[in-house]
Amino acid sequence: MEFTPKVLESCAEQLRARFPHLPIALAVVSGSGINLALPGGDKLAELSYQEVFPFPVHPLLGHRPTLSLWRVHGQGVVLFHGRFHLYQGYSAAEVAAIPRLAALWGASTYILTNAAGSLHPQIAPGSLVVLSDHLNLQGANPLVGEWGRWREPVFPDMSFAYDPQLRQLALSLARETGFAAWEGVYAGVLGPSYETPAEVRMLGQLGGTVVGMSTVQEVIAARHMGLRVLGLSLVTNYAAGIAAQPLTHQEVLEAGALAQAKLIRLITTLVERLVQP
């Protein structure tokens, strides 16, 4: 079946019919090596991506590809465990299916986490970078073609793609949680090879703070849908050439796992603040 806006609308309709009386307040997406939960929340369901999305789902590295649905103060919070990446061969529309589905299901806020490499010696692995902006270097845009014509605006403004209020809140809560917290720009590349040291120098000169292979397609689609966006990069490694050793995916997963408890605490606190009783 061709993946069209109509098909996605019917996926969202099925979810709303399956969980009536549960207004969805927000969605959280976790990246590589990060397994989110909401301790204290009431977990209502866990659905595999294959039952939810109308296209073939490959196994995702480091993830059970599922979403879990939680009730917090009578409202729904959806956690997406793992995302679709362009480098896996998914189209930009498929990569953008997560925020679009979240918005059609009723969410108004989209919190995304990702694993990223640091472009700056001061920003060490284990730090958290609250995203203030991004560079789309992926050569794709999820609004090309019928997905852009689907709804207004055809040319969405990206001046405040990452919500200023949410950024302030996240920065203060991240510090309280014990993260070295920074604010910065996400340089989104295609991957899946890591960058060369020359590319890492270029990304720094272009204004990037961290580099990763996800996020920007989702944020463009999320803004097109009118979602408020918060982006959090967990720094798992120094980008190539900043530290002496070569990079491995294992290192990225391990750093994600180490920071997991702190990240879960931060997300839980953010959700508590954003979902009012």
Q: How far is the CB of 212 from ligand HPA (least distance, A)?
A: 4
Q: How far is the CB of 219 from ligand HPA (least distance, A)?
A: 16
List, in order, residues 6 or more apart from 54 with CB less than 8 Å away.
1, 3, 7, 8, 11
Q: How far is the CB of 247 from ligand HPA (least distance, A)?
A: 6
Residue 187 in the binding site for ligand HPA (CB under 6 A): no
The owner of tokens 């204290």 is 40
Residue 213 in the binding site for ligand HPA (CB under 6 A): yes
Among 99, 117, 188, 208, binds ligand HPA (CB under 6 A): 117
Residue 194 in the binding site for ligand HPA (CB under 6 A): yes
Enumerate residues 227-256 that contact ligand HPA by CB under 6 A: 236-237, 239, 247, 252
C-alpha of 31 from chain center: 7
Number of residues that bind ligand HPA (CB under 6 A): 13
Among 8, 38, 211, 259, binds ligand HPA (CB under 6 A): 211
> Would you say 101 or 213 has its CB closer to ligand HPA?
213
- In this structure, the dihedral spanned by the alpha carbons of residues 212, 127, 166 and 24, taken in order and rounded to 10 degrees, is 70
C-alpha 88/C-alpha 162 separation (Å) is 25
Using the rule CB under 6 A, give the single segment among 97-105, 110-118, 147-155, 222-230 that binds ligand HPA. 110-118
Q: How far is the CB of 46 from ligand HPA (least distance, A)?
A: 26
Residue closest to 102 by CA, chosen among 223, 184, 187: 223
**Contact positions toward ligand HPA, by CB under 6 A?**
115-117, 194-195, 211-213, 236-237, 239, 247, 252
